[in-house]
């Protein structure tokens, strides 16, 4: 069974979603990274071929969203899975704290500029979901957006968040109706594993650049972030825009599962290269004749 359909990973409806029921150490019975590495290599070759077909047919677009706590492995997963990406077919977009220009627009604006064209992938390293995650944990950030009617923290009530979830659902439904495949990945790391990775960054010289004391400040809000992720997934999981809660304590499984899900979704599309019509066949023959008649 593909991880696209694994009930311990896939979330297509949020009504009964409980994040605490998803095991960060789950590996679907695999015991080490040897088998997963072989599968990842095979799937990356398929991914490259599917990307070429999608680029050639120019019909669907693919939006991949990666969200996670610090040190869960977003960067490394994107790097590993897409190391052999068909160059013309995709772009990675990393979203940091919004700048002054972005704050002068609605919160979806900056990501809309990076949505994929038909035939292409857009990979979002963080996304508009930050607006129901980090802003929900640090509500003072909402006040910087100067939204009419939102003057104090007391104005940011449950209805405010419900409206944001609704906007995101409407946005994703619109994209899906117009041919965009949406796959959303929450890399689900445990607090204990995050601690190990932070210590590794401190104790390993060539990883020191990855560590920031700001990460530890966010770690103090662990439970609040877990609730925010649970609510975001619960309110925005859908058949046309599923969430995948990827166990992230074992990086080898995490990368394999992500790649498998993407490949299986593309397989469902029954992609193929465009067929050449009679006129195009005549053009090919004419091109061949011209080239073969040249005097080198």
Strands 61-68 and 180-188: parallel
Dump pLDDT digits (tens) for 59-100.
999 999 999 999 999 999 999 999 888 888 889 999 999 999
pLDDT of 105 reads 95
pLDDT of 84 reads 83
3-state secondary structure of 83: coil
Q: Is domain 10-292 classified as CATH 3.40.50.300?
A: yes
pLDDT exceeding 70 applies to what percent of the chain? 99
pLDDT of 160 reads 97
User: Which residues in the chain land under pLDDT 50?
Assistant: none
Helical H segments across 58-190, by residue range: 74-81, 100-103, 109-112, 134-137, 140-143, 158-177
Q: What pTM was computed for the model?
A: 0.94
pLDDT of 14 reads 81
Compute the distance between CA of residue 223 and CA of residue 97 in angstroms, rounded to an integer.
21
What is the residue extent of each domain of the chain? 10-292
Instruction: Tell me how long the chain is.
Output: 296
CA distances from 265 to 16, 41, 58, 78, 247 (A): 24, 17, 17, 17, 19
pLDDT of 1 reads 63
Compute the distance between CA of residue 243 and CA of residue 237 in angstroms, rounded to an integer.
6
């Amino acid at each position: 069974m593909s991880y696209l359909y694994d009930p311990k990973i896939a979330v297509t409806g949020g009504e009964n979603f409980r994040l605490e029921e998803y095991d960060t150490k789950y590996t679907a019975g695999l015991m080490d990274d040897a088998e997963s590495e072989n599968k990842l290599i095979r799937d990356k070759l398929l991914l490259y071929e599917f990307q070429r077909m999608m680029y050639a047919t120019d019909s669907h677009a693919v939006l991949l969203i990666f969200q996670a706590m610090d040190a869960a492995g977003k960067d490394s997963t994107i790097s590993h899975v897409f190391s052999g990406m068909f160059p013309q077919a995709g772009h990675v977009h990393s979203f940091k704290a919004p700048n002054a220009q972005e704050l002068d627009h609605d919160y979806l604006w900056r990501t809309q500029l990076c949505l994929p064209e038909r035939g292409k992938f857009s990979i979002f390293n963080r996304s508009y979901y930050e607006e129901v995650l980090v802003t929900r944990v640090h509500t003072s950030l909402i006040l910087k957006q100067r939204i009419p009617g939102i003057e104090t923290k007391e104005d940011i009530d449950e209805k405010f968040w419900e409206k944001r979830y609704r906007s995101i659902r409407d946005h994703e439904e619109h994209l899906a109706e117009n041919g965009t495949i949406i796959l959303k990945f929450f890399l689900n790391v445990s607090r204990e594993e995050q601690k190990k990775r932070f210590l590794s960054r401190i104790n390993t010289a060539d990883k020191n650049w990855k560590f920031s004391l700001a990460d530890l400040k966010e770690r103090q809000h662990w439970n609040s972030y877990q609730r925010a992720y649970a609510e975001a997934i619960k309110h925005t999981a859908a058949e046309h825009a599923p969430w995948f809660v990827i166990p992230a304590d074992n990086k080898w499984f995490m990368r394999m599962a992500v790649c498998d899900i993407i490949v299986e979704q593309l397989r469902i599309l029954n992609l193929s290269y465009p067929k050449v019509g009679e006129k195009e066949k005549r053009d090919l023959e004419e091109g061949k004749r011209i080239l073969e008649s040249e005097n080198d």
